[in-house]
Amino acid sequence: MDTSSAPIPAPPRHWEADVLLRDGRSAHIRPITPDDAELLVEFYSRVSDQSKYYRFFSPMPQLSPRDVERFTRVDHQDRVAFVLLLQQRMIAVGRYDLVRPGEAEVAFLVEDAHQGRGIAQLLLEHLAQAGRERGLEKFVAEILPDNSRMIQTFRDAGYRVASEYEDGVLQLEFPIAPTDTAVGVMHGREHRAEAASIERFFNPRSVAIVGASRRQDTIGQTLVRNLVNGDFTGRVYAVNPTAGAVSGLPAYKSVSDIPDDVDVAIVAVPADAVQDVVLDCAAKGVHGLVVISSGFAETGEEGRQRQRRLVGLSRSYGLRLIGPNCLGVINTDPAVSVNASLSSVMPPRGRAGFFCQSGALGSAILEKVQNRGLGLSTFVSAGNRADVSGNDLLQYWEEDESTEVVMMYLESIGNPRKFSRIAR
């Protein structure tokens, strides 16, 4: 019976999510669909022969049309597959296929350039959750003995793994019930990824100010002045398409025109131009954005829609975002000394980290800290808190040896359960 044109039931909406990789970059995970055929073929063409052999146990240089059909058409019940997308390209796929009631075989394929970023563990976590929802109790896997990286992925997952060796293949099986160990492993991976995603904001080697201006009393000029006067130890780049120089710095027409790497971009352009900046930064390989620009969710429904598009676009290209409508970030560590904010106050070095949603309150407390001779380790003004949240900062500060105390001004808590777990 030909089922190629049979309707496919829709997967649960909560199976789709934005996730963080081990190095702090964001990516998107979702169930595979028949529309992914072209993406799958392109992905497979970038995978090395060795990785293909590890996956299929035989040379398989190309996917036949029948293979593509089989891999992309799943019922989201007995056959489930997730893809991981970065910059609108497929970089990994993981799947399970039911072999008997309560038991499914699981397998992964990760593009070589992205191996070592914790992707297989992420896929395993999402497949295990989907499997539990579909009544599965156990995963099995067949792995070639010299595929040490994949063997370690299964062993590190926190499940009880049983294995045996047969016909030159290592056979693993493990129950997927969420044991305390497995949950701890998941939280640990999440914690490390979120802390890593924040680290680059506080310790950039280079910062680009997009919207840098020569005119006094402008946001773009203030950002340049604060960064330079704060004795930032890294490189500062001004981005202004109509100026040759800003405050003695050569100006570039776009971030892509900057000849060196850029870790963080501080964005101070009109709201309707921010999306173009995201694309420019993504093409350059920028790690994160601090969006000072206003005109987003704080302005009403149109602004909320603009903000949703901004976050979706940033995440699809692997960028983390502080803001929009924020004051900026500060790190008082003399080895960095970065004041990428609208505050002219560079507080003394201290042992307290400060997260604030209100720019006005943040400015007032920074002045109080300086006037009273107190100190901060780091400061973040989150503004609309569209992406980077207090939970992200808590996980960074927990690992930061320079921070002993955390102060937070929150207008709301996006994930109360996670907040209470981390704070506890």
When pLDDT is averaged across residues 391-396 and rounded to a whole number, the result is: 94
For residue 286, pLDDT beyond 50:
yes
Q: Which residue ranges form the domains of the chain, and what is each CATH number?
A: 13-178 (3.40.630.30), 198-423 (3.40.50.720)
Q: pLDDT tens, 90-106? A: 999 999 999 999 999 99
Helices vs. strands in the chain: H and E counts, helices first: 12, 20
- Position 4 scores a pLDDT of 55
Distance CA 329, CA 227 (A): 11
Of the ranges 142-156, 299-313, 345-359, which one carries the lowest mean pLDDT score?
Answer: 142-156
Distance CA 179, CA 143 (A): 24
Buried b (16+ CB within 10 A) or exposed e, 226-242: bbeebebeebbbbbbee
For residue 297, pLDDT beyond 90:
yes
- With cut-offs at 50, 70 and 90, classify the pLDDT of residue 212: very high
For residue 2, pLDDT beyond 60:
no
Nearest to 238 by CA among 218, 216, 258: 258
When pLDDT is averaged across residues 390-403 and rounded to a whole number, the result is: 94
Average per-residue pLDDT for the chain: 93
For residue 51, pLDDT beyond 80:
yes
- With cut-offs at 50, 70 and 90, classify the pLDDT of residue 252: very high
CA distance to 77, 117, 323, per residue, from 40 (Å): 21, 20, 34
When pLDDT is averaged across residues 326-352 and rounded to a whole number, the result is: 96
What DSSP letter does each residue of 54-88 carry, written as one string? HHHSS---S--HHHHHHHH---SSSEEEEEEEETT
Distance CA 401, CA 332 (A): 14
How is residue 72 written in tokens?
């992309």
- Position 78 scores a pLDDT of 97
Q: Which helix (H) or strand (E) holds 221?
A: helix 219-229
Distance CA 382, CA 169 (A): 51
Question: pLDDT exceeding 70 applies to what percent of the chain?
Answer: 99
Nearest to 157 by CA among 199, 197, 128, 200: 128
Which neighbouring-strand residues pair with 280? none
Q: At what angle do helices 274-284 and 301-316 cross, to 10 degrees?
A: 10
Could you tell me which residue, 131 or 180, shows the higher pLDDT? 131
Answer whether 420's CB lies under 8 Å from 376's CB.
Answer: no
Q: pLDDT tens, 141-178? A: 999 989 988 888 888 877 777 888 877 899 998 899 88
Residue in this structure with the two tokens 């109080």, named with its chain if needed = 368
- Position 374 scores a pLDDT of 92
What spatial distance separates the first Cα and last Cα of the chain, rounded to whole Å?
Answer: 57
Buried b (16+ CB within 10 A) or exposed e, 335-361: ebbbbbbbbebbbeebebbbbbbbbee
Answer whether 208's CB lies under 8 Å from 255's CB.
Answer: yes
User: What is the widest separation between alpha-carbon atoms in the chain?
Assistant: 79
**Exposed/middle/buried for 65, CB within 10 Å: 0-12, 13-18, 19+?**
exposed
When pLDDT is averaged across residues 74-81 and rounded to a whole number, the result is: 97
How is residue 216 written in tokens?
């006094």
When pLDDT is averaged across residues 371-393 and rounded to a whole number, the result is: 94
For residue 6, pLDDT beyond 70:
no
Answer whether 346's CB lies under 8 Å from 399's CB.
Answer: no
For residue 1, pLDDT beyond 50:
no
- Position 365 scores a pLDDT of 93
**What's this model's pTM, rounded to 2 decimal places?**
0.84
Answer whether 380's CB lies under 8 Å from 354's CB.
Answer: yes
